[in-house]
Amino acid sequence: MQVKDKIVIVTGAGSGIGAATAKHFAKHQAKVIVSDIKEEKAQNIADEIKSEGGEATVIMANVAKFEDVEQLVAKTVEKYGQLDVIVNNAGIGPRNMARTGEYTLDDWDSVIAVNQTGVFYCMKVALQQMVKQGGGNIVNIASLAGLKASLNNLSYCASKFAVVGMTKSAALEYATKNIRINAVCPGYTESALLDKLLSVRPDMDQRLKSVIPMKRYGQAEEIAEAVVWLASDTTKFITGQTITLDGGTSL
């Protein structure tokens, strides 16, 4: 992977796909900003990276707050002079799974604020810096739920469809600016969101695996490999794409 010495922000990097992605970038000698809303988790990931000889800095941010996003990018540029890559991974699911007519306003507002508006904020601020410096790379974490229907999960589904659309629109806008923007769409992946679902509905485990041709969940590390690949100089002619990692579920 050609990401050595790149300055990389990973949001939601305290756990799951974000943590795996931060560690994978560091493994390939990128300089990683571990950003999360939970300081202890972010620090643990940064410490793990440092213990293995990598470089990592913790910068806290709630991506649903524009001022936090501005500070995240500003502090990164202040420390390193530039921003090469941002991985917009921070995301949440609804507290309650429900049909659209029974969906709560709180679940709609909170999920859209983080998953959709938060990605917009991060793209907006990062793109301003990347235009100024003459190039950059954005990888957005969407979902299989951003490509197909997801029952009783309206806000999450809507937000991830939006991420796919924003990825394609922005990629078209900035293709001549040496800025590439792509998304990955994980299927059912071992993560806090999946754990939450299975804790409420243990019976869903076998049901979910039954619709995955590979008969297993994805691993966070597998998603991280795709993210780092898209952010690397190996993929200079790829932009505006959604890479689906779902064990064949979409088939």
Q: What pairs with residue 34 in β-bridges?
A: 10, 58
Let me know how many helices (H) and strands (E) the chain has, helices first: 9, 7
Class of residue 209 by CB neighbours under 10 A (exposed 0-12, middle 13-18, buried 19+) = middle
Question: Whole-angstrom Cα distance, residue 81 to residue 133?
Answer: 9
Nearest residue to 11 via CA among 160, 148, 118, 161: 118
Active site residue 103: no
> Which residue of the set 121, 156, 174, 188 is catalytic?
156
Q: How far apart, in whole angstroms, are the C-alpha atoms of residue 154 and residue 94?
A: 9
142-162: burial string, b at 16+ Cβ within 10 Å, e else: bbbbbbeebeebbbbbbbbbb
Where in the sequence numbering do the catalytic residues fall?
156
